[in-house]
Amino acid sequence: MAMTHLSLCSCDDEDFCGGKMEIESCRDCANFEDRRNIEKVAICAMHHGPSVCCPEFRPRNRKTDAKKLYDRFCLKCANFENVEGIPICAKDHRPGIACAAFRRKSETLAVVA
């Protein structure tokens, strides 16, 4: 079971979550490397199968470009819902969220700098 973390919103839709999101996405993890545009694969340093969107992805808002792979994550999908910190997919899928090994990319970069 994935662990949830309190954080700033990563869905880029303030109307959806009010600027706060209790669920993290692999997209924001230091362990995640998105190579879908190069090698058609997403990689996790922890050897997990990182969570990216499914073929039924529909953009939540106009800011999300469905053609850009970096925007294609469950948090940015119209089928994704956050109900009291529990991720739900309207298509009855298991929504992609970060695992317990989540490390915020921005915090990792701050330590190195």
Q: Which domain holds residue 30?
A: 7-112
Whether 43 maps to a domain, the answer reads yes
Write the single-letter amino acid at 15.
D
Candidates 57, 83, 65; CA nearest to 12 is: 65
Whether 69 maps to a domain, the answer reads yes
Per-residue pLDDT, 17? 54
Per-residue pLDDT, 1? 37
How many structural domains does the chain have? Answer: 1
Enumerate residue ranges in the chain where pLDDT < 50: 1-9
Cβ pair 103, 29 in contact under 8 A:
yes
Whether 2 maps to a domain, the answer reads no
Per-residue pLDDT, 14? 52
Cα separation, 29 vs 37, whole angstroms? 18
